[in-house]
Chain A
Amino acid sequence: MKNKFTFLLLVLFYCSTLLAQQIKVTGTVSDQSGNKLSGASVIVKNSIIGVQTDFDGNFTIENVPNSATLVVSYLGYFTTEQKVNGLKTINFILREDSQALDEVVVIGYGTQKRSDLTGAISSVKSDDLLKQPAINATQSIQGKLSGVSIINTNAPGSEPVVMIRGLGTAASGTTPLYIVDGIQVSGISNINPADIETMDVMKDAASAAIYGMDAANGVVFITTKKGKLGKAKLSVSSYYGATTILNQVKMANASEYITYFNEVRTSLGSTNLLSTNQAYDTDWFDELAEVGLTNSNNVSISGANDRVNYFFSLNNYNEDGILTGQNLTRNTLRSNSTYNLFDNRVKFTQNISAAISKETPKPFGAFDEAYKQAPIVPTYYDNGAFGQAEWDTSTGLVVYQGNSSLNSIGNPLSTVYYKNQKDITTDLQGSFDLEVKITDYLKANSRFGATKSYYRSRSFNDIKSQYLTLNTGQTEDDFNALKAANPSTTSYADNSLSYTTSDSYRFNWDSYLTFDKEIGEHTFNVVAGITKGSKNDIFHTYQLAYDVPEKEQYWNINFASEDYEQVSQQYFSTPTHQLSYYGRLQYNFNQKYFLQANIRRDGISTFNNDNNTDYFGNFPSFSAGWVLTKENFLSEVKNLEFLKLRLGWGELGNSNVPFNVSTYTTSTGSSSVNYVFGANQDLVYGAALGASIYPISWEITKETNVGLDFQAFNSKLSGSFNYYNRNTENAILYVTPVYTSGDQSKYYDHGAEVLNKGFEVELNWKNAISQDLSYNVGVVFSNNKNNVENVKSAYDGQTGGSLSNGQITKRLEEGQPIYAWWMWEADGVWQTQDEIDSNAHYGSPSPGYLRYKDQNEDGVIDDNDKKFFGSYIPTYNFGINLGINYKDFDLTVDAFGAGGNKVYNGLKSTRIDGGENIAYDTYANRWTGEGSTNTNPGADRDSYASSYYLENGDYVRINNITIGYTLPTVIDQISKIRVYATAKNPFLITKYSGFTPEIVGSSSSTGASGTSGIELSAYPNTKTFLFGINIDL
């Protein structure tokens, strides 16, 4: 090093004698976050004059011609130029080139240079994650990775649905495998996004096969931050945000509601109509939703020298939802460090994190009620009680204690008010890795990683107050009389209190050897190892008691009344054990030809039953890469620096189904295996055989991937293209038994093939026009076609998508996308009674009802007339990401869109009483008499599932607009201050008539057969405006 420097000085000295008008230029080179870059090269353009920056990023370059241009380059950063023009001090800030081919990508039990990849792996860097602040990093990567479809939900604490290359399973788990710093975890909601350095997503089977039967849904790697070489760095950042509803549906107001209601009544032949002169005109959404406030504070200390590398961070995140009282607070702590021992022959790494979340959830059903409750109902009566949908049929007015109800919808404010729940979740996660260099080319790692989670939920239910709210006019004395008359009947307890606790543990212990050697132009890398793991090891308790004191401080089961039998439940789950052997061979010749082979032998306890003792499976994969630009015929092509062709094939498994063993069904509660016997009517326990057990094993997914990576125009343009064809050969279905068999419940069996085909494009254009101005444009596009084939006969026709009113909307059938929409086709509106009488109809419709098409023309409308209408899963999605840096300003705009699917407006379709409120559009477009419309039903209508309520799910949303300003260095100690403002989800463009076409479905049924794609009581999409500051010391 020293010699080199002396040499450079000599060169400089030599040059000085040749050139006139020369000056000495000094300066520093740093990255955008203020880190000094040592070893960056600073040269005078079109000359051999140049230096390298020292350890602190400083350089001094002598004898520079006044008119010269300095060029600064550094590995992984954009090369930057600046005219000297007599300046004696020039400081360079280099922009990171995040898609550089030299970046390191995590591939499981090792890393690889991007340029060496033979599989399809997409990555997101820390900077991109932080541009869209969120509590969960997966929310921030929507639209940034091709082939990764993310259905976001804006509800605090809820996890987005992540789908990699389509949905390949009907009944098994659908979440990808998450690996944080090498250890398998169940999710990443406990990880502070600011702690994440990179997220790498393995999309193809050729790469993911190293994770065998856990990998069929893709693998997401999270690598948390480490210290960077240099002195200790302290970073502080904060942001504050305000959240409101995006895309509010306009509801009918009081007078519109009254018109609509009276039309329903008139059509039904009732003469009790609402008066047009009502006292209230409530905007329920306005009353219900508040501005939610978010704030996050982050502190980190990091640094490294050649012996120790450390990173420590603390984060406090606090989010108030848009419902009153809905709050989520999360505190996280992380400590990552690496110690190099014995002359770097032994490396010990520990990553430890703790996350404590406190949440007071509120029922999202309140949004459903806000949509449906009549605007003429008051929020509160004059006496302070919650308004109810009661009216007086003689005066037609909404009154306290009426003689009839407009509908059976509750007051959304009371629903939110009476929900009293508090959840605390603690996650402790850690990994310890010992790496020993045995020889220069052989190292051994042993890594133990574990997660321990504790969950406690308290729920208090004020039964008495809710009774008095619902039964207007009843007094506390009335309630107490009922209570006295019905002792030990829990409907008349004052309150109930329940505690649910669970703790869970999972671990993985990996041990592997890595052989890494170059022999001439041949480079070999071989990994071989074993893993032992356990998950789903849960201890669960539930306690329920009645009549505890009203004061919160005494909410202990110990203070509950003895008049009511308490409920106490406890169980251990059946853990899942896993044992795996794996190996990988990577070979390349001269960085031109690449070959890779993976093999994993995976064993899992899930399928260990009498019928099936073979619970080991082998998952091979092969892939190859060819860098065409290294061939003579392409090396001359102008402006094409890099072009690589990739080809891969692999086999993956999905073992995420419940423990497969024949069991008895038993219960200690009110269950249909139990019964009541005896003069005292005792609850007596019974039992029944559980579901039938078939000798199933993991699902096998085979995938072929063809890809292309390129870089051109001086690295300004880069991109990749992938085509894939994946087939889940033996998809597991959750089958309804043949009815006559009398089998008690649904069971798991292999029964179909699920095919996913598609292509993905990622393009990036980056350019630095000058030292002051640089920009980048990124586009990702993914396309997916989903299809179910070869369904076992008798398994065809499983239904799903329940609207909770007896109507179903989805069905699994050969030749259709998985659980495709299946319902009657709306075929206009009945105009006259004659028309109804002379055509096939269902039930007893009136004019104004939707007409359903008699597909088989048998004169009867039944299930045989239902038709398929495509899938809820988008067939394409895309993201556009723009970035501009001008001097100290930076601007980012990200957009995301998806489409090709249909979504079901359940809020609009599910009406029970005919007294629910409607959207303004429903009111304005309704049928009002013969000839008025043949599209939209009248006020009086049925609520059967039909294609009328199925709408296009296409949308485009601006995810993020951020404008930032980095202050010029003002104080020596502070290397950087950046302030920014962000608009998160400011615009949504969609034709969908509900709140959002992005619908995850209720948490209990997120699979394809559940309510995904059906808006029943979805938390509306929200927009957030944030202000933040980052300070680096």
Chain B
Amino acid sequence: MKINFKNIQGLFFLGLLSITVSCNEDYLDVSSKDALEQEDSETVTPEQMVNGVYGMLTDWDYAFSYLGITEIISDNADKGSSTTDSGGDKNVLDALTFTSSASSINAMWGHWYQSINRATTAIIYAENYGLTDETYKNRLVGEAEFLRALNYFWLVRSFGAVPLQHIDLVKRQPVSDVYDYIEQDLLDAIDKLPLKSEYDSEDLGRATKGAAQALLAKVYLYEEEWQKAYDMANNVMLSTQYSLHPNYEELWRASTENGVESIFEVQARGVSTAHGVQQYSQTQGARGTDGWGWGFNTPSQNLVDAFEAEGDAIRMNASIIFRGETLWDGREVFTVENDRYNEKAYSSASAGASDGDKNIRIIRYAEVLLIKAEAAVNLGLDAATPLNMVRNRVQLTSITNPTLENVWSERRLELAMEHDRWFDLVRTGQAESAMALDGKTFITGKHELFPIPNAQLIQTPDMEQNPGW
């Protein structure tokens, strides 16, 4: 057989031509396969976007940085862990010698703004998605508003005047404007959210009307709007959704999660696929041979003294794991490195797992009672009733004519290690004296607010720093 070479050439050119044709430039229009493109909005529901806002609460920052700026910094807790382990900046937070470069402060600053961004995105998404069920849409918007308000509240009480994301990223808005924005979100959320009992069982843990009211009561307390705080706390009480759990010892155990006293808490599960506040129980778990964690955020002797001064053994033993103790579930905590550990961070089932089942209680009914009591003292109304409900549960005697100091002391013991102490000290003006008693120097006019993180100032040099920093 004889093949004509010219034919071969012809075929070859035909081949080349066919590639050229197939090289249509549409070939470069590749679509994302491994991540959902934003233009394909049908793939993501508004509820998923709202879930994503809650998800921020499970981030690692709450398991480490947050401990530093809420408890370790205060007189309730010490850094813990090994003496030589600085925990990043936990040692300087503990000693009150931190600077604007403190990584924990930077972490929470960024984290809260991220959460706010997610919440705003979720609200816009829910409103524009085309949901026909108004109640459902409102609920989703209300949930995100609640979460946005919560994060702005944490920001404003930490940093004072902060930029409001929807106005400007650099210009710090007056504190009152920030509070106005928080109130506006919460009032709207109160309108839109259902009561705890109105949710389906599968939605347990979502923000409720009661949660928004309780948070708003707390916000008013910080604003010293006593009447509004009193009324809002009262609204929570009148809703009949909540009551005190009779046994304080069980308050932070898995068995009381989302129980009668729970108003809002971070949800977590320990079984596969486990998902909780990443490493929260691990960072605070006992350290050493019998331990299960890193041993940070250890309750201080100062806190023990406060419990003992009040004769409050129940709450002390429920809040603190002492070295040498056998825990309620039989775990022996004998050979460990530190004298005390935070029992409220302890999970019986998950122990030191990196993803544990610990639900962090953010607001519970006892605090609402104490808000009402504090507002009542200021208003000259009946503070004794709500205060003594809290005291009597732990077998402490009633106080007939409570003072502000009585309420503040009660707050410390009732809410010990619940991430509120530092802000209470600053809010009530006790910080300087309390720090002095704890051997630290609180500089008035400086330490009331955290510094704007140095990393932020590098990005936006025009942003003003807080006084003294």
Give the B-binding residues of A (Cβ under 8 A): 264, 268, 342, 345-346, 390, 401-405, 408, 434, 436, 438, 444, 446, 471-472, 485-486, 488-491, 509, 511, 530, 532, 546, 564-567, 571-579, 603-605, 608, 610, 615, 659, 661-666, 668-690, 736, 738-744, 794, 796-797, 805-807, 842-844, 860-864, 911-915, 940, 942-944
Cα distance A332–B118 in the bound complex, in angstroms: 51
Given A579-B28, A678-B205, A843-B92: A405 and B289 interface contact (C-beta under 8 Å): yes
On whether the beta carbons of B30 and A862 are closer than 8 Å, the reply is: no
Q: Which residues of the other chain, A, contact B118 by a CB distance below 8 angstroms?
A: 688-689, 742, 744
Cα distance A680–B205 in the bound complex, in angstroms: 11
On whether the beta carbons of B43 and A740 are closer than 8 Å, the reply is: no
State the interface size on chain B (CB cutoff 8 A): 108
On whether the beta carbons of A565 and B202 are closer than 8 Å, the reply is: no
Q: Which residues of the other chain, A, contact B8 by a CB distance below 8 angstroms?
A: 342, 346, 436
Q: Which residues of the other chain, A, contact B273 by a CB distance below 8 angstroms?
A: 565, 567, 668-670, 683
On whether the beta carbons of A679 and B454 are closer than 8 Å, the reply is: no
Q: Which residues of the other chain, A, contact B110 by a CB distance below 8 angstroms?
A: 739
On whether the beta carbons of A446 and B12 are closer than 8 Å, the reply is: yes
Q: Which residues of the other chain, B, contact A405 by a CB distance below 8 angstroms?
A: 288-289, 337
Q: Which residue of A490, A576, A687, A741 is within 8 Å of B272 (Cβ)?
A: A490
Q: Which 3 pairs, one residue from A and one from B, show the smallest C-beta to C-beta distance? A: A742-B117, A686-B51, A806-B88
Pick out which of these stretches binds chain A: B174-182, B234-242, B345-353, B367-375: B345-353
* Interchain Cβ contacts under 8 Å between A and B, 21 examples: A404-B335, A564-B271, A564-B272, A566-B272, A573-B34, A659-B32, A662-B37, A664-B36, A666-B44, A672-B56, A676-B267, A677-B204, A678-B202, A682-B202, A686-B54, A688-B49, A736-B455, A741-B113, A742-B115, A742-B165, A943-B84
Cβ-based interface call for B458 (8 A): yes
Cα distance A689–B87 in the bound complex, in angstroms: 31
Q: Tell me the nearest residue of chain A to B103, going by C-beta.
A: A806
On whether the beta carbons of A740 and B272 are closer than 8 Å, the reply is: no
Given A268-B83, A843-B86: A742 and B92 interface contact (C-beta under 8 Å): no
On whether the beta carbons of B49 and A686 are closer than 8 Å, the reply is: yes
On whether the beta carbons of A390 and B82 are closer than 8 Å, the reply is: no
Give the A-binding residues of B (Cβ under 8 A): 3, 5, 8-9, 12-13, 15-16, 19-20, 22-23, 25, 27-39, 43-44, 48-59, 82-89, 91-92, 95, 97, 99-101, 103, 106, 109-110, 113-118, 121, 162-163, 165, 169-170, 201-206, 258, 267-276, 278, 288-289, 334-335, 337, 349-353, 355, 357, 453-456, 458-460
Q: Tell me the nearest residue of chain B to A681, going by C-beta.
A: B269
Q: Which residues of the other chain, A, contact B206 by a CB distance below 8 angstroms?
A: 677
Q: Which residue of B34, B52, B91 is within 8 Å of A844 (Cβ)?
A: B91
Nearest CB on B from A695, distance (A)? 15
Q: With A844-B95, A913-B82 given, can you name 15 additional A-B contacts, CB distance below 8 Å?
A: A434-B12, A488-B272, A546-B272, A575-B30, A577-B28, A579-B23, A662-B39, A665-B52, A676-B276, A677-B203, A738-B169, A740-B162, A743-B114, A797-B459, A862-B454
On whether the beta carbons of A663 and B454 are closer than 8 Å, the reply is: no
Nearest CB on A from B164, distance (A)? 9
On whether the beta carbons of A862 and B121 are closer than 8 Å, the reply is: no
Given A664-B44, A688-B49, A744-B114: A670 and B205 interface contact (C-beta under 8 Å): no
Given A664-B36, A670-B274, A674-B55: A860 and B19 interface contact (C-beta under 8 Å): no
On whether the beta carbons of B121 and A684 are closer than 8 Å, the reply is: no
Cα distance A604–B30 in the bound complex, in angstroms: 9
Q: Which residues of the other chain, A, contact B453 by a CB distance below 8 angstroms?
A: 739
Nearest CB on A from B28, distance (A)? 5
On whether the beta carbons of B335 and A739 are closer than 8 Å, the reply is: no
Q: Which residues of the other chain, B, contact A491 by a CB distance below 8 angstroms?
A: 350-353
On whether the beta carbons of A268 and B48 are closer than 8 Å, the reply is: no
Cα distance A567–B273 in the bound complex, in angstroms: 8
On whether the beta carbons of A913 and B19 are closer than 8 Å, the reply is: no
Q: Tell me the nearest residue of chain A to B334, going by C-beta.
A: A403
On whether the beta carbons of A663 and B99 are closer than 8 Å, the reply is: no
On whether the beta carbons of A608 and B28 are closer than 8 Å, the reply is: yes
Q: Which residues of the other chain, B, contact A842 by a CB distance below 8 angstroms?
A: 92, 97, 99
Cα distance A1021–B38 in the bound complex, in angstroms: 47
On whether the beta carbons of A608 and B117 are closer than 8 Å, the reply is: no
On whether the beta carbons of B43 and A664 are closer than 8 Å, the reply is: yes
On whether the beta carbons of A663 and B15 are closer than 8 Å, the reply is: no
Cα distance A913–B86 in the bound complex, in angstroms: 10
Q: Which residues of the other chain, A, contact B84 by a CB distance below 8 angstroms?
A: 264, 268, 911-914, 940, 942-943
Cα distance A308–B337 in the bound complex, in angstroms: 77
On whether the beta carbons of B33 and A572 are closer than 8 Å, the reply is: yes
On whether the beta carbons of B459 and A509 are closer than 8 Å, the reply is: no
Cα distance A740–B95 in the bound complex, in angstroms: 28
Cα distance A797–B100 in the bound complex, in angstroms: 15
Q: Which residue of B34, B44, B350 is within 8 Å of A489 (Cβ)?
A: B350
Cα distance A55–B267 in the bound complex, in angstroms: 84
Given A405-B337, A675-B267, A863-B101: A687 and B289 interface contact (C-beta under 8 Å): no
On whether the beta carbons of B5 and A532 are closer than 8 Å, the reply is: no
Cα distance A681–B91 in the bound complex, in angstroms: 36
Given A390-B289, A615-B28: A740 and B51 interface contact (C-beta under 8 Å): no
On whether the beta carbons of B271 and A489 are closer than 8 Å, the reply is: yes
On whether the beta carbons of A404 and B288 are closer than 8 Å, the reply is: yes
Q: Which residues of the other chain, A, contact B278 by a CB distance below 8 angstroms?
A: 670, 672
On whether the beta carbons of B37 and A663 are closer than 8 Å, the reply is: yes
